[in-house]
Structure 1
């Protein structure tokens, strides 16, 4: 873990408009304009939404499920849900936050199914291999250094997969996706104090697990 409890798991997806020069007001206006187009049924707007968010949602789902195929299928289901429900979205949160909320619900439901079945399609639930992590986390295909990075991500993902689903979700949202506490409160619909206390316990558990899994 890096300082502040943030996991160093390699390059992460960055939210559209979230670069160093982006301003929150600009991002909010862009989302609102996109939402208007989505509600009007503009197919290009939906394609833009998918293009902007699919990688980040896939990364979140992959961290939650530990299975490439399941994560890929789930992201498609998420966007089907978005397409079906976007006109009912009350805009009480950011559009990107709403996408994570839908993804969270789909992930938790799928985890219940996977746990009943015992494993995902690609690999055992708690035995994610380095190649899968490299693909799931977007690591470049390079020798030596990339392989070491992929192995480290595999070690982190294996530890994450040992957490209970709610703890896994908080670690993924905060320490991997880098979302703010306000965003996580909107996604989880939990009080901020509860989010922080559960995240603290999840980090302690994760640190203990990482200590057990030798590099």
Structure 2
């Protein structure tokens, strides 16, 4: 019987785990969860910015792995393949949430237009957002960074997470995203510049206080 091909450099313990997973061994799946659940959850949380969404997506990712482990061809490491699945789940969920939010906005617009007075009775959202100076008070810089990362585009945010937080190599990021090396580097550069711009007021404030 021919063994399934796996890329050179994949450690033997990972090869063994993959073989056990493909045989449907329950303990292998339990081991997979122990090894990867924290990183999967962390990636989902940073991409989604919501704990409940991250928990739900983490479960969906493991369900996908369980159902489709036979599709793992060993062309990359198992962790890279799992990152790719996690990324796709997050991006699909973000698209769904945006479509739903747009639909709700359209419904609200219809309600406002149907108001006989012609005046909106709700305060504008912008009026509910605190000023940057009050927002920064009492918050740790890490919290502000996470908040501002949520303002990046999905494409930019995922690269900052994969490279600067998860500390993945450019080769791993290419395998996960399917992007050419040049695109990864140029897009990451723009993402870092944008994040620096968003953080500039808070960093200046921290500097003034120190």
State the partner residue of 1:72.
Answer: 55
For structure 1, the residue ranges without an aligned partner over 5 or more in a row are 1-23, 120-126, 128-147
Q: C-alpha distance in 2, partners of 1:56/1:151?
A: 23
1:98 to 66, 72, 81: 81
State the partner residue of 1:35.
Answer: 18
State the partner residue of 1:172.
Answer: 161
For structure 2, the residue ranges without an aligned partner over 5 or more in a row are 1-7, 103-128, 130-137
Which entry has the higher C-alpha Rg, 1 or 2?
Answer: 2
Question: Superposed, which structure 2 residues align to 1:147-162 within 5 Å?
Answer: 151-162=140-151
1:56 to 39, 43, 65: 39
Is 1:205 paired with 2:188? Answer: no
Tell me how far 1:212 sits from its aligned partner.
3.2
Give the RMSD, CA atoms, in angstroms: 2.0
Q: C-alpha distance in 1, partners of 2:199/2:41?
A: 24
Q: C-alpha distance in 1, partners of 2:141/2:162?
A: 19
Tell me how far 1:30 sits from its aligned partner.
1.5
Q: Deviations 1:42-101 (Å, cap 9, x if unpaired)?
A: 110000001100001111111100000000100100000000000121111100000000
Secondary structure in 2 matching 1:162: coil
Q: TM-score, normalised by structure 2?
A: 0.73
Higher relative contact order at CA 8 Å, sep ≥6: structure 1 or structure 2? 1
1:89 to 63, 72, 76: 72
**Structure with greater helix percent:** 2
